[in-house]
Amino acid sequence: MIEITNITKTYITGDIKFDALKGVNFDIKDGEFVAIMGPSGSGKSTLMHILGALDTPTSGRYRLDGQDVSRLSEDSLADIRRDRIGFVFQSFNLLPRTTVLRNVMLPLVYAKIPDAERTKRAKEALKAAGLDEDHFYHKSNQLSGGQIQRVAIARALVNNPSLILADEPTGNLDTKTGDIVLGTFQRLNEEQGKTIILITHEHDVAEHADRIISIRDGEVVSDHRQHQKRVVIRNK
């Protein structure tokens, strides 16, 4: 699904040049659950922006589902973000005084999906993310942190993307709630075959994935599969 070949990213401010990524290489197969882990300043956020078609590399190649997205126009990158990538962020990014259902339907409004189909797909995505039906018409500011993050996961699922990109998704959650959310990602990967990339600086979070790619100072320093990952927590 993903081929990253000799990716570099250089930022230039005045006379100062900073190499955020220095020739990164890896592949991710369809249906994998991968954590990309590194400390602050390691380059993982830059890499996340490239993987999410939010930015382009200075050099190298990024292929997603066989398409080279390294040098696409802004409009083409926007199409990929809309149709092929589901984003889950640390800050949730939900509309606080809007119902759960309408928050999840929002990407379908932009995609001009008919209203009845929007409602159907939003409900299916919420169920897949593990949210109880009695919360569908609550406003997002009436939910717990874990429930809100599962709404954000449902919104990421609603367009049936080929890739789910989760950027520090447990950063605003306590440990128990964070484990439940990470269990949701595991279930989506194992039961629905979703490809998931989890960006994190915490080893305990990365251990929920099947494979951990560690990055430091703009370079991949290790890439290994886990013999035993953390057990899925299925509690609601």
Long-range CB pairs of 221-227, under 8 A, 24+ apart, other chains included: 223/26
Predicted structure pTM score: 0.88
DSSP helix/strand/coil, 220: strand
CB contact set of 200 (below 8 Å; sequence gap of 6+)? 35, 36, 37, 168, 170, 206
The C-alpha angle 104, 108, 114, rounded to 5 degrees, equals: 120
Dist. CA 82–CA 25, nearest whole Å = 25
pLDDT tens string for the chain (236 positions)? 899 999 999 999 988 999 999 999 999 999 999 999 999 999 999 999 999 999 999 999 999 998 999 888 899 998 899 889 999 988 777 888 899 999 999 888 877 889 899 999 999 999 999 899 999 999 988 888 889 889 999 999 998 898 999 999 988 888 888 888 898 899 899 988 899 999 999 999 999 999 999 999 999 999 999 877 766 555 44
